[in-house]
A and B are shown apart, each in its own frame.
Chain A
Amino acid sequence: MSPRMQVRVRGRSFMAFVIAPEPPLQIWLSHLDAQMLRSPGFFETRPVVIDLAAVGPDDHGTATLLTELEQRGMSVIDVENARDLPGADPWRRRLVGGRETGPVEPTIEQAQVTPVSAPPPLPEDCSLLLDEPVRSGQSVLFLKGDVTVVGAVSSGAEILAGGSIHIYGALRGRAIAGALGNPHARIFCQRFEAELVSIDGYYRTADDIDPSLHGRAVEIRLVDEAISISVFG
């Protein structure tokens, strides 16, 4: 029997620009052209979402608006508030889960993509230490590095770490290490009763885990693209 192949799925987030055309569309397009002339390449490497809330079906140029935008080099990935506007259907994707990040200002001098104004970098912890048990229903998300829990991780709780996960207690919930794609991340726990463990997108559920490991102190790592669990110490 050949080993089961697991298809890897990883997450990556991009910031999309949202623009909201306003009638009269011809004039709006000419303003856009002027702006793009001042900041060439501003839209080039960004996904764009078009918010059609302000546009009605009777406004002149509605049917061709999205084609016009594509011709200007925009990568339109979705339209919002399109209702039943003519010409919007081919672009409808119904993406969900967007989070507002505020206005993005193109600068005239800079020709390349302007990043969102970031606050000055603070010295940040690259590990998270939790002194309390992680209870059912709680989700700990820490993508900057390792997570250490002094206590148990309950059934129905989850830890998502960019780095490794260390649990000084029982792991009864889910532990997802190397969540942004790190095959060297590991999971350690004092008592292994997990529902699911994952490293770098590879995972194993309780059903696929050798029952003799239940209740033991274990180390979990990725060996040849497979989750490997060994008794620790």
Chain B
Amino acid sequence: MAKVVVVTSGKGGVGKTTSTAALGAALAQNGERVVVVDFDVGLRNLDLIMGAERRVVFDMINVIQGDAKLTQALIRDKRLENLMLLPASQTRDKDALTSEGVAKVIAELREKFDWVLCDSPAGIERGASLAMHHADIAIVVTNPEVSSVRDSDRIIGMLDSKTERAERGERIEKHLLLTRYDPVRAERGDMLKVEDVLDILSIPLLGIIPESQEVLRASNVGSPVTLNAPISAPARAYLDAVRRLRGETVDMTVPSDKVGLVARLFGRRAA
């Protein structure tokens, strides 16, 4: 049974697209059939992060409007044959996304893949609400700072009221992915601590991705960090997050690039 996951945050620039690519690749590295879907119509980026920007022919809007078949728009990853990308249109705006069209595309993707990862645009408007509408699971990407946390809180409220599952009276599974975390600065009080964020958002923690140059380096070469530098700290954090997403119990740690200095945050499993 396919799982539709929305990667969302409310605030822009917190790492939604990077995380979608890294998690999608990590799931595929585990043998799952994965598609990553860019919902950021007009401001697409996922194709760049995945290194597929020079192979985009058709996009989701073409599929919705019937100009192309879904199979024509899907782009297979060069490194992993079980990882696909459905790009957004760069020349259109979010009004071109119709809710019937999105429903049809998602239903078709559910049949072809084990995981459908939807990269939500920032904001709380149409694009974001369509990206979350069909999700079974939400990954809320948050930076450890107050504005990001408050925007995430707003998004969680929308997930609990505006999604298809919420409208049916069911629950949507929600996970927190804390990105750009710097244990040293958090300890100094320059950023929110993990406990503070969890206390405010009160949803289970999926992973803590440390701030790292590797993430930027991976973006620049158009490769998800889990593929580009699989033993780097952020890659290990994403791989741990994916194991948790698949139901494994993994101790919550913040991987570090300094060998032998694995900062153990909690002895217990978080929230």
Contact = CB atoms under 8 A, between A and B. Distances in A.
Given A152-B200, A172-B200, 7 more contacts: A135-B153, A135-B154, A135-B160, A136-B151, A136-B153, A136-B154, A137-B124
A155 B160 contact: no
Q: Is chain A's interface secondary structure helix, strand, loop, or mixed overall?
A: loop
Q: Which 8 A-B pairs have the closest CB atoms?
A: A135-B157, A136-B153, A136-B154, A137-B154, A154-B153, A135-B153, A138-B157, A136-B150
7 contacts: A133-B202, A137-B153, A151-B202, A152-B200, A155-B150, A155-B200, A172-B200
B109 interface: no
Contacts, number: 32
A134 to B, nearest CB: 8
Contact of A156 (B124, B150, B199, B202): B150
Contact of A137 (B157, B199, B200, B202): B157
Contacts of B208: none
Interface residues of A, number: 14
Contacts of A157: 157
A136 B10 CA distance: 11
B156 interface: yes
Nearest to A155: B150
A132 interface: yes
A138 B159 CA distance: 12
A71 B163 CA distance: 55
A155 to B, nearest CB: 5
Interface string A131-161: 0110111100000000000011011110000
Given A154-B150, A155-B150, A136 B202 contact: no
A152 to B, nearest CB: 7
A103 B151 CA distance: 42
Nearest to A135: B157
B153 A155 contact: yes
Contacts of B154: 135-137, 156
**Chain A CB within 10 Å, residue with most, of B153, B160, B202:** B153
Nearest to B203: A133
Nearest to B124: A137
A156 B160 CA distance: 17
A132 B160 CA distance: 10
A138 B124 CA distance: 13
A156 B200 CA distance: 12
Contacts of B153: 135-137, 154-156
Contacts of A138: 157
**Chain B CB within 10 Å, residue with most, of A132, A133, A136, A152:** A136
B208 to A, nearest CB: 22
A135 B200 CA distance: 9
Contacts of B202: 133, 151-152
